[in-house]
């Protein structure tokens, strides 16, 4: 599909959003750019957008089947997602089932410590301020969301975690943590947006404990795209591969 640059609404670090002829629908282009550390570390990794779009589409479909509202409408071709247009809320909603990453750098948790119930953390999506962690008072003072919105976001996030964790564990993946973002649709409903992919989640192989996500890139290790392909292979069924004409 040829995207007209005149319809570009927003260019993010890894995705572009284009207006379609339908006022309430956008096309999200998953790019091959990969970044870490507030965008300081940057590379282009061929096929990254392709795998991330497929993984996100499959996981959004799974959530829709479980009754959770998402931006997803269709993936007309790998790399390009037709989505409901949302007014995004600048919150990075992080759910943690296992202590990893920045949590270990900032607090005296033990590596691998389990959280049940999971920890939900909200960061301010703002590179200039380095995505600082928020609390409810700061969110309200910045007018990012209301008390009711926060309650809704927490509730939906816990449901999302339960659905994804069950699915991934069944397929041999450990799901230590992930980041999601929400927006409001034209009726004011809070809807899951953005993506769910190895760029935004930690995935570990439950047999080998191999890392299968962006941590490989953050650490400067090799095999990043092979890991993303492996996650796609684990998550997609044969019928998904036929539907999207995939040959990996």
Residues in contact with ligand UDP by the rule CB under 6 A: 92, 94, 100-103, 131, 177-179, 200-202, 214
What is the nearest approach in angstroms of ligand UDP to the Cβ of residue 239?
A: 28
CB of 172 closer than 8 Å to CB of 206: yes
Query: How big is the CA angle at 166 (ends 147 and 164), to the nearest 5 degrees?
Result: 50
Nearer Cβ to ligand UDP (6/107) = 107
What is the nearest approach in angstroms of ligand UDP to the Cβ of residue 5?
A: 27
User: In the complex, which residue's CB is closest to ligand UDP?
Assistant: 101
What is the nearest approach in angstroms of ligand UDP to the Cβ of residue 168?
A: 13
CB of 93 closer than 8 Å to CB of 180: yes
What is the nearest approach in angstroms of ligand UDP to the Cβ of residue 140?
A: 22
Strands in 87-88's sheet, in edge-to-edge order, are 87-88, 182-184, 190-192
Both structure tokens of 234:
């684990």
Nearer Cβ to ligand UDP (3/162) = 162
Q: What is the CA radius of gyration of the chain?
A: 17
Beta-sheet strands, E only, within 78-138:
80-84, 87-88, 91-98, 114-124
Nearer Cβ to ligand UDP (33/240) = 33
Nearer Cβ to ligand UDP (103/160) = 103
């Amino acid at each position: 599909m040829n995207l007209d640059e005149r319809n570009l609404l927003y260019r993010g670090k890894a995705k572009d959003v284009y207006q379609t002829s339908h006022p309430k629908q956008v096309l999200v282009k998953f790019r091959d750019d990969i970044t870490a550390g507030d965008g300081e570390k940057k590379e282009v990794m061929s096929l990254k957008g392709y795998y991330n779009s497929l993984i996100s589409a499959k996981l959004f479909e799974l959530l829709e089947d479980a009754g959770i509202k998402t931006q997803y409408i269709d993936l007309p071709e790998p790399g390009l997602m037709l989505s409901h247009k949302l007014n995004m809320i600048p919150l990075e909603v992080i759910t943690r089932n296992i202590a990893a990453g920045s949590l270990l750098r900032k607090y005296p948790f033990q590596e691998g410590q389990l959280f049940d119930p999971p920890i939900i953390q909200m960061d301010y999506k703002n590179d200039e301020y380095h995505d600082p962690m928020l609390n409810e008072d700061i969110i309200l003072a910045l007018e990012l969301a209301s008390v009711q919105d926060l309650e809704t976001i927490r509730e939906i996030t816990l449901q999302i975690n339960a659905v994804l964790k069950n699915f991934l564990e069944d397929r041999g993946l450990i799901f230590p943590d992930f980041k999601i973002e929400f927006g409001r649709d034209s009726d004011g409903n809070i809807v899951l947006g953005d993506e769910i992919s190895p760029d935004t989640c930690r995935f570990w192989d439950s047999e080998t404990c191999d890392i299968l996500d962006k941590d490989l890139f953050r650490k400067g290790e090799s095999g990043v795209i092979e890991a993303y392909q492996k996650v796609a292979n684990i998550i997609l069924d044969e019928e998904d591969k036929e539907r999207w004409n995939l040959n990996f």
